[in-house]
Amino acid sequence: MNASPDRIAWLEGGTAVCNNPPAKPTRPRRLVLLGPPGVGKGTQAALLSSALGACHLSTGDIFRAARDGDARKMSPGMRMAQDYMRRGDLVPDGTVLQLVNERCHCLTCAGGFVLDGFPRTVPQAKALDLLLLENGITLDGVIVYELPAAEIVSRLIGRRTCPACKAIYHVTSHPPKTPGICDRCQSRLVQREDDHIEAIRVSLGAYENATTPLTGYYRTRSLLVTIPAVGTPQEIFTSTLSAFKHAAVTRPSPSKSPFGAPLPAPYGD
Ligand code: AMP
């Protein structure tokens, strides 16, 4: 099996190119994932990307890659973005859109994409529409994952991540074999700065104010599919795939169908 696409062009921007670009599927899929912080979008994006052969494009990953990289290479805009991120607040649209525009080739890549964490505001969604329109590309669907706020807080407070290989754990629901140590690469696990309670409050507030209106924006365009983010990651992934099939079967016209035709086997069986 081929290794997952390395997403270097997306993470580094500029003239960086992927060493391992996605294979070109016959029917590239282009999806947007929405949902509050901690709902498991990143995990679902990774599962969907590998099922669809598309790249997992996360704007949060761009900010984290810059933070973990060479500090001397950080632009003033990126430095400012790090402060917003630490507080759990949204980075201003201008900065985010500049980063995404610089990486336009990732959105037009023949492998397709699963966008995770972008767009997060209506102006970002409008800018994405324009960028896709200019390149003759349409979105196949927008998935919104939903979960009660109390459950989100408990998920985020217990989340631990591996700074080296990026594996994600939870102190109670998915603990590492040795407390505080990554099973995969034995690095010491950390709690992300934005997983502390103050930052969680800020980011949930930002989601409510800025991102929730996006569901209305996409619903009116028949692109939205809502999935309760309850159960194991695999169960939620299975619900997402059934939504694909359901949407493909029940929508009147393929052009209006989120996800278009059913997925290829084994996912579409
Ligand atoms: P995420 O990993 O998607 O939760 O993103 C982590 C942080 O990066 C967010 O809390 C924001 O500070 C920032 N961020 C990521 N994507 C965006 C975006 N599309 N708009 C504004 N801020 C963003």
**Phi-psi bin for 21: left (phi > 0), alpha (psi -120 to 50), beta?**
beta
Tens digits of residue pLDDT in 112-143:
999 999 999 999 999 999 999 999 999 999 99
User: Per-residue pLDDT tens for 145-204?
Assistant: 999 989 999 989 999 999 888 898 999 989 999 999 999 999 999 998 889 999 999 999
Residue nearest to atom 8 of ligand 1 (CA): 60
Q: Whose CA is nearest to atom 14 of ligand 1?
A: 60
Distances (CA, A) of 103 to 58, 75, 178, 186: 12, 16, 39, 33
Ligand 1 test: best mutation among 44, 57, 85, 99, most atoms within 8 Å of CB?
A: 85
User: Which residue of 101, 120, 124 sits with most ligand 1 atoms within 8 Å of its CB, as the best mutation to test the pocket?
Assistant: 120
pLDDT of residue 247: 63
Q: In the structure, which protein residues have their CB atom closer than 6 angstroms to any atom of ligand 1?
A: 37, 58-60, 63, 84-85, 88-91, 96, 117-118, 120, 124, 194, 203
Q: With contact defined as beta carbons under 8 Å apart, do 127 and 99 qualify?
A: no
Q: How far apart are alpha carbons 206 and 45 in whole angstroms?
A: 21
CA of 58 to the centre of ligand 1 (A): 8
Helix axes 212-219, 122-134, angle to 10 degrees: 40
Percent of the chain whose predicted confidence (pLDDT) is above 90: 65
Nearest residue CA, atom 5 of ligand 1? 60
Token pair for 94: 């201008």
Terminal CA-CA length for the chain: 20
pTM: 0.87
